Structure 1
Amino acid sequence: MGRYVPPEHEGVISGNKLHGKHALGSRANKISQGILTVRFEMPYPIWCTNCPKPTIIGQGVRFNAEKKKVGNYYSTPIYSFRMKHTSCGGWIEIRTDPKNTAYVVTEGARKRDLGEDKVEEGDIKVLTEEEREKLRNNAFAALEGKVEDRMRLEHSKKRLEELQELSEQHWEDPYEQNRKLRKTFREGRKIREKEASVTAALQDKMSLGLDLLPEHEDDARRAQLIEFGGVDHEKAMAKAISKPLFSSQETTSKQKPQTAKGSRRRKAEDLAKKKTADIVAEISGNTRAAMDPFLALKPSPKPLLAGVKRKRPAPEPKPAIQTNQSAVALVDYDSD
């Protein structure tokens, strides 16, 4: 198609035949071997056995497959579709099964078990040709099959009648059912609105820019094991003393210059992170686990404050040596 044909060959020979090309192009590179490249879609999920670890190929995944006729089932041809798995480079072959009107994996993979082949209660079993021939030749087998079909039909009818009766009983008064549904929704809406108002009030009170999750039973149980203290002015003063004076100026001087838009966004992100860190630090500082005083054997040491020098503990006195002179110290602590 679209190939040049000289005037002397026009109407006598086609352009593809004149140039030695196939009408299907590169798809027919192996047409001499009876192979045609087609677009094949996976009929069901399979496990690739060529991969180092079992890898699943989902239903509907498409491949460029080599289509080839490999046999016949009576007058129906059997085709094989051979494709390469791009993840591992292994070959997978799937063939048609005209006898069972299905696809069969013959190489490089196995079908994923979805439980579709199992016959459940109430399902109609499709008989094969051998089973049909057996029923024709065996009268007792045919009779047993009829009895089973009759019992299954009666059970299905009974079940359908029960479901229909239950549905009619449940929706006998549609207005009442609708009223119950609206009442349940109304109560739930009031509860949700109340919880949302409490959450919004708490966020406004604490100036929180965070989303609060709903309360859970585990949160209440853990909160009972925590003691929340008030504001300790000594701790607040110690925290203020421990902070460096010029840290903000130093950090700002070390930062690289940025664009106006990027700097604003950066400042907003840093402000949000700092606010979150301050809230966590404040809650952690005002929170201590509830402990049994009789189980506390040793008192907890006093916290050390950064930037504050503490007096070193005095060494234990050594046994005095009897001398004529007595040493007199000016101070009772070591100098720095």
Structure 2
Amino acid sequence: MPMTQENATWFAETFDKVVDNVGEALLGKQDVIRLALTTMLAEGHLLLEDAPGTGKTALARALAASVQGSHSRIQFTPDLLPSDITGVTIYNQKTTAWEFHPGPVFASVLLADEINRASPKTQSALLEVMEESTVTVDGVQHETGRPFMVIATQNPIEQAGTYRLPEAQLDRFLMKTSIGYPSREALTSILAGSDHPDRSRGLEAVITSGAIASMSDIASQNHVEDSILDYIGALVEATRESPDTQLGVSTRGAIAMARVTRVWAASQGRPYVLPDDVKELAEVVWAHRLVMDPDAAFSGATAAGVITRALADVPAPTTR
């Protein structure tokens, strides 16, 4: 059933309540919180590339607490095994049966801290669950439930002992962004409450996990004109045809944009998507999916620049 204006108004009000609640733990970062919640409602995953100590753990914990969900954290290290993430089947001698012991991936919000420090084999353990929301152990599938979101982090400064994320895994992240350091005003407020540095622990839920799943279902019915879908397709083709790229936005990336703009529009109280929604989200949804030409990158070309040029060259639809 298409989204109504009444649904959109309720969606936007509830969205703002969750954002404000998370904002009690992550001061002065409303934009990042809105992107994180949009990712969750679009049933996608978020990659944060940021320096240590900017509040990545606080964001994950506060988001889980605000939606009455569970939270788990995995510190990725070179010796981490796939079973440390997904879980393991163990034989119980008392019951003479094999029992599945779920790993930390079975949570509403999973923080994969410093994901690029684990081996490619361990990183690949996340591929199935990020795409299908299921984990297969010894031939048996286990569902993670809804909502389910991976917030992965990587440190852009320290590269020793890290493994570059493969393109296939990067493509499974709906968005890539950074939190950044707080403003002077926000830092002063943080220092004033330094006796209780983790503000996320005191947060109460403002919505249930079931309601979040319902919001995702409602947003998926938000109206997108065919002209806007064609606009997304034209932008995707522009990134593929750019002389600065070896690989442009994938079909998965195009689908991701169509999904996320529905949520973004609903969060602003609109039962329809505008071309401006695509423009506003283009960089965070697409930049990490581009594979740049080495010569072009050496000359200073960037993924953000490719997307900016595509937005400038491809005319946005102006009529229905």
Q: TM-score under structure 1 normalisation?
A: 0.18
Q: TM-score under structure 2 normalisation?
A: 0.19
The structure with the largest alpha-carbon Rg is 1
- Greater percentage in helix: 2
Q: Which has the higher contact order (CA 8 A, sep 6+)?
A: 2
